[in-house]
Amino acid sequence: MLNRVIERRSDSEPGFTSKTVPWALDFSPEGTYLGLLPLGDQSDKKNKGKVFIKCPDLTQPELVAGGEKRSHFLIESVKCVAMLDVTNDEREKIEAKHRYFLGLLEKASPAVPSLKAVAVELQKPDVMSRIQQEMKKLKVKPTDPITIRIGGSYPVESDAWHDWWRKYRRSLSASHSATGTSSMRCVVTGELIRPVLSHPKIKGLAGAFGGATSGDSLISYDKEAYKSYNLDQSLNAAMSEETAAYRDSLNDLIANHSSNLANTKVVHWFKNMVPDADDPFALLEAQSELQEMEAQRRARDLLQSIRTGKRPDLAGNRYYAMTLSGQSGRVMVRDWMEGQFEELAGNIVQWFDDLQIVRRDGGAVAPPPKFLAVIGATVQELKDAPSPMIAQLWKTAVRNLPLPRYILARALERLKADLTSKDEKNRVPNHARMGLMKLYHLRKERIEGGNRMGELKPMLNENHPSPAYHCGRLMAVFGQLQQAALGDVGAGVVERYYAASSATPALVLGRLARTSQYHLNKLAGDKRGLAKWYEGLMANIATKIGDRVPQTLTLEEQSLFALGYYQQMAQMKTGKTGEKTEETNG
């Protein structure tokens, strides 16, 4: 896994990293302060600033070793550079870092002469006061990174300081390597190396993803239970400083090649570059209904173009994907996947095919759901979705795997809660939830080598082999019959009896069959034809159930009951009852 991550950024070098900076202090070639510059695309609401590819970077051990208060070079926090909003408690520390920042500018001036004049300018009280006033006016945060521009150019983009910086890092009294530690085998390359004690932090998993704002460790052993052979910190997974630069690649993936799936991040890339329009992962994440409708067709066209030889550039390509979250300062790798591009495209097509389900108002197949909708089908709110389940669902889609039984149970629980809700607005069946139940059975049957569930189609199948499926159909007819006979009665037979009938149909459906006679009698006069239609439909479904209504239904059978109920409701809403019936479930 780390080999693949490192391969993406083979040009990574210790002491350098890419950084996104939202602000710059602008100076003339002579070092006169000109003003504060916002960076990046100001028209973009999500603008985070300007990306600088190769910036100087010190690790946390290098920043704190020896007790000296050090700062970064050329790019630092607004608080450190401009002394903005410094409290009394932190003043001594921040002033020391500020002096160190100016000292670095002066030390680097033999390589970049213009830096010395800037260091002198930033020592003037009136200049500092002006900078602070401008920052407050533009509502700059003290924690924002900031750099400098001189004569219209950014020193950080020049390579003139690179050699100086390499020598400076080597001169630091506290080496990042494990002093006194003998050579060890690198867990990534297998070469004999001088291992580093700690690795740089991974950024981008803070907030909803469970990570820390200061970053999270991918590799760290700081508890006794994690240590082997008395190896501390990161020595249990020995890497050289060069190999530990995987941080740059992973940070770039999280920042620029990731998707947010509730409380989890998915990063993915390809061995050879793939245009965004041909990215199968993007098809899973369609955001609008138009994109959802287009996604399945696009995936199928992409797969066909590979198999017919029209896209040889994609045929031999490979994909890589990681599912990540943060917890207690650590990066949690929830899953890792890699495989052939063609296999990925085929699996995405199969995912969409297996999820296909009739619209709840009948007449057509619902658009394929975006992946977030599938997650949402298993929980009351997206924030409630556990990270391991999200990772498992993602893997199910990408690798064409069977759906775990516990996810089916979650979807079924949510369906029952919706159908029996006191709030009528919540009783609307969810397309993604019903499609997920259908997918469970199709994939389980394929794994077992059977074909009974091959009869499970997007639309109603009156000849489905499962009695549980037809019990669900009968429940839908009872509900619709009551609506036709009595109109809106609030909590009807579905809301009151669905949960019980889906678990113990023999105990409940007989009672509802007797009640249905009362509802049929209500359909008198000009609706007598409708009553006969309902009688014929119930008789037909009864023959499909057989001589004996099941006493109890297993979890899988309850989901078939749900599919029968849903598809029968959709069928009746198309007006196949002899006259179009009113929609009762949205």
User: What does the pLDDT look like over 376-419, one tens digit per residue?
Assistant: 999 988 888 998 999 999 999 999 999 999 999 999 999 998 88
How much is the pLDDT for 578?
43
Domain boundaries, the chain: 8-171, 184-249, 264-401, 461-572
Confidence of residue 165 (pLDDT cuts 50, 70, 90): very high
**CA–CA dist 55, 501 (Å, integer):** 65
Neighbours of 163 (CB within 10 A): 10
pLDDT (mean) for 79-101: 95
| 258-261/76-77 β-pairing | unpaired
Which tens digits make up the pLDDT trace of 498-551? 999 999 999 999 999 999 999 988 887 778 889 999 999 999 999 999 889 999
Report the chain's mean pLDDT, rounded to a whole number.
Answer: 88
Nearest residue to 516 (alpha-carbon basis) of 180, 244, 501, 409: 501
Neighbours of 227 (CB within 10 A): 14
Quote the distance between the C-alpha of residue 282 and its chain's center. Answer: 12
Higher pLDDT, 179 or 172: 172
Amino acid at 422: K
pLDDT (mean) for 311-326: 92
List, in sequence order, every residue forming a beta bridge with 268; answer none if it has no partner.
321
Distances (CA, A) of 181 to 58, 178, 219, 239, 554: 21, 5, 18, 12, 60
How much is the pLDDT for 398?
95
How much is the pLDDT for 287?
60
List, in sequence order, every residue forming a beta bridge with 76; answer none if it has no partner.
146
Distances (CA, A) of 483 to 224, 461, 495: 66, 23, 12
Token pair of 534 as six digits: 């309902």
